[in-house]
């Protein structure tokens, strides 16, 4: 009898208590994902300071306290003149993790995102805008690390007070939570402006698994405004700034590639069918503009990039295509998709023809043979092609082994 009661008790402790605690945590802090499954955190705003974000037509941003250990970090507003930049609200405050709270080498601030589906795929985005929040602008650069679970994600190297740093990753956490941590590496106080989590359709980004994540390449490529490498090809860039939700149902950020004089854009008003790339019926305005050479006698487009890190890595390229012009009968647009001049090694494609108003993604991988190596993806017209190549969208990720996504910084119950 007693044994049975003890067993029930043990089971309660082991199985039910954590669930109950989780529920309590979530209720206490009101940190359920919104109706889209999105978690949108504005770091450093006071408890109760949630709001509807204008730039995303009403996504609800919430305070960060509920995602942190009680009392972790301090909040601050950015200082003039850096407030005066027509910034989204989430850049106006930061959470920072000074002194003893984050001794060098320690995981200073850890955000715990809960109520995830184990094995599901998620986009995680962390944003940083220094804005002289601590009045110590002379101390720049500030460098700290960002971790996903126990894995290093990237270094955040803040060299300018008025620059916005944006990092995105696609992850597949094996547990129902994911931690994003800021790590002091002895080069200044870690801080953060915003943290977003977006559930993705399971068939998007199958390369992200329990053991490896996709890190959106961060490589400065002027004239693009931001370092992250997810591009749309609308122009002029000054007008078509950033596409995100509701234009992208998953709220990925698509920035203009930049107004390179060597290419022009072809646009259509008609919808592009995206069922083959996202199984979602939302026609995507992002893909309704394509780049093509400005000079019709030039029969190729080249997109160079190089490593953002000292480490060698494998890159995953996603090239989005949809034909936007009705071609005369018998005429075709046909081109090779080459990576570093090769169609075979990385899964490039020979003689590819985009479908009329229907989007497809061509994936390609390339392994960097040495750190900092330069690479180029080239679209080269086939000799019999009536028209030069086009491209409608481009993403570049590094594929990073991340075996410890589910690691919490403490064992046992989640702390809330
Ligand atoms: C940070 O960026 C600056 C400027 O690009 C560079 O000189 C410096 O080496 C970087 N620091 C680290 C730790 O990467
Ligand atoms: C992850 O790695 C573990 C151990 O190496 C392996 O058993 C498991 O099948 C891998 N999971 C995936 C999704 O690749
Ligand atoms: C187009 O390119 C061809 C060959 O590269 C060149 O001879 C020609 O001058 C260019 N035309 C213009 C308008 O730039
Ligand atoms: C989607 O792909 C399938 C298989 O390649 C093809 O038959 C179908 O026409 C495509 N649909 C669209 C809208 O592109
Ligand atoms: C350079 C160029 O042709 N830009 C065009 C890109 O598309 C927009 C929208 O259709 C046009 O307004 C631009 O003129």
**Which residue(s) pair with 361 in the sheet?**
320
CB under 6 Å to ligand 4: residues?
Answer: 273, 275-276, 355, 358
Q: What is the pLDDT of residue 61?
A: 96
Q: What is the pLDDT of residue 124?
A: 98
Residue closest by Cα to atom 6 of ligand 4: 276
> Residues 200, 250: contact at Cβ < 8 Å?
yes
> pLDDT digit string (tens) for 168-199?
999 999 999 999 999 999 999 999 999 999 99
Taking 70 as the threshold, does the pLDDT of residue 28 lie above it?
Answer: no
Is residue 246 domain-shared with residue 341, that is, in the same domain?
Answer: yes
Is residue 247 domain-shared with residue 191, that is, in the same domain?
Answer: no
Q: Residues of the chain with pLDDT > 70: what percent?
A: 85
Q: What is the pLDDT of residue 410?
A: 46
Is residue 128 domain-shared with residue 36, that is, in the same domain?
Answer: yes
Task: Tell me if 391 is assigned to some domain.
Answer: yes
CB under 6 Å to ligand 3: residues?
Answer: 295, 297-298
Q: Which of 203, 273, 276, when mutated, tests ligand 4's pocket best, judged by the most ligand atoms within 8 Å of its CB? A: 276
Taking 50 as the threshold, does the pLDDT of residue 12 lie above it?
Answer: no
Task: Tell me if 206 is assigned to some domain.
Answer: no
Tell me the three state secondary structure of residue 382: coil
| CATH number of the domain encompassing residue 248 | 2.60.120
Domain count, the chain: 2
Q: What is the pLDDT of residue 143?
A: 96
> Residues 141, 158: contact at Cβ < 8 Å?
yes
**Which pTM was predicted?**
0.89
Q: What is the pLDDT of residue 9?
A: 52
First to last CA, the chain: 35
> pLDDT digit string (tens) for 354-385?
999 999 999 999 888 887 788 999 999 999 99
CB under 6 Å to ligand 2: residues?
Answer: 209-211
| CATH number of the domain encompassing residue 138 | 2.60.120.260
Q: Which of 155, 158, 159, 163, when mutated, tests ligand 1's pocket best, judged by the most ligand atoms within 8 Å of its CB? A: 159
> Residues 292, 269: contact at Cβ < 8 Å?
no
Q: Residues of the chain with pLDDT > 90: what percent?
A: 66
Is residue 272 domain-shared with residue 381, that is, in the same domain?
Answer: yes
CA–centroid distance, 182 to ligand 5, in Å, is 41
> pLDDT digit string (tens) for 235-280?
999 888 899 999 999 999 999 999 999 999 999 999 999 888 876 6
Residue closest by Cα to atom 7 of ligand 2: 211
Most confident of 4-13, 122-131, 214-223: 122-131
Buried b (16+ CB within 10 A) or exposed e, 201-234: eeebbebbbbebbbbbbbbebeebbbbbbbbbbb
Q: What is the mean pLDDT of the chain?
A: 87
Task: Tell me if 409 is assigned to some domain.
Answer: no
Ligand nearest to the CA of 298: 3
Between strands 59-63 and 39-42, the pairing is parallel
Task: Tell me if 53 is assigned to some domain.
Answer: yes
Atom of ligand 2 nearest to the CA of 209: 13
Domain that holds residue 237: 230-400
Ligand nearest to the CA of 261: 5
Buried b (16+ CB within 10 A) or exposed e, 236-250: ebeebebbbbebbbb
**Range of lowest pLDDT (73-82, 93-102, 322-331):** 93-102
């Amino acid at each position: 009898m007693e044994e049975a009661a003890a067993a029930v008790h043990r089971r309660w402790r082991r199985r039910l208590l954590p669930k109950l605690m989780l529920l309590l945590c979530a209720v206490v802090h009101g940190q359920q994902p919104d109706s889209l499954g999105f978690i949108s955190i504005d770091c450093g705003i006071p408890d109760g300071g949630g709001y509807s974000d204008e730039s995303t037509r009403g996504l609800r941003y919430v305070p960060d306290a509920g995602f942190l250990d009680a009392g972790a970090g301090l909040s601050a507003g950015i200082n003039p003149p850096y407030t005066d930049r027509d910034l989204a609200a989430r850049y106006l405050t930061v959470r920072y993790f000074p002194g003893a709270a984050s001794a060098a080498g320690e995981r200073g601030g850890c955000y715990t995102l809960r109520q995830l589906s184990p094995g599901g795929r998620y986009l995680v985005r962390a944003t940083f805008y220094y804005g002289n929040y601590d009045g110590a602008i002379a101390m720049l650069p500030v460098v700290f690390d960002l971790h996903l679970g126990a894995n290093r994600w990237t270094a955040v190297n803040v060299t300018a007070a008025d620059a916005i740093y944006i990092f995105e990753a696609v992850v597949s956490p094996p547990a129902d939570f994911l931690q994003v941590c800021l790590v002091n590496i002895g080069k200044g106080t870690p801080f953060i402006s915003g943290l977003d989590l977006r559930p993705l359709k399971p068939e998007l980004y199958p390369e992200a698994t329990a053991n490896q994540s996709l890190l959106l390449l961060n490589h400065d490529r002027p004239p693009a405004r931001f370092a992250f490498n997810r591009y749309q090809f609308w122009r002029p860039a000054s007008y078509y700034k950033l596409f995100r939700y509701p234009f992208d149902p998953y709220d990925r950020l698509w920035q203009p590639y930049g107004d390179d004089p060597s290419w022009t854009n072809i646009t259509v008003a008609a919808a592009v069918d995206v069922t083959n790339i996202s199984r979602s019926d939302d026609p995507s305005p992002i893909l309704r503009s394509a780049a093509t050479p400005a000079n019709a006698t030039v029969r190729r487009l080249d997109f160079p990039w190089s490593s953002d890190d000292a480490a060698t890595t494998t890159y995953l390229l996603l090239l989005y295509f949809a034909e936007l012009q009705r071609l005369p009968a018998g005429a075709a647009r046909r081109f090779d998709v080459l990576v570093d001049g090769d169609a075979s090694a990385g899964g490039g494609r020979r003689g590819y023809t985009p479908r009329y108003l229907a989007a497809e993604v061509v994936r390609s991988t390339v392994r960097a043979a040495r750190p900092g190596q330069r690479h180029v993806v080239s679209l080269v017209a086939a000799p019999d092609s009536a028209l030069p190549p086009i491209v409608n969208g481009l993403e570049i990720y590094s594929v990073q082994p991340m075996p410890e996504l589910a690691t919490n910084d403490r064992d046992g119950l989640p702390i809330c």
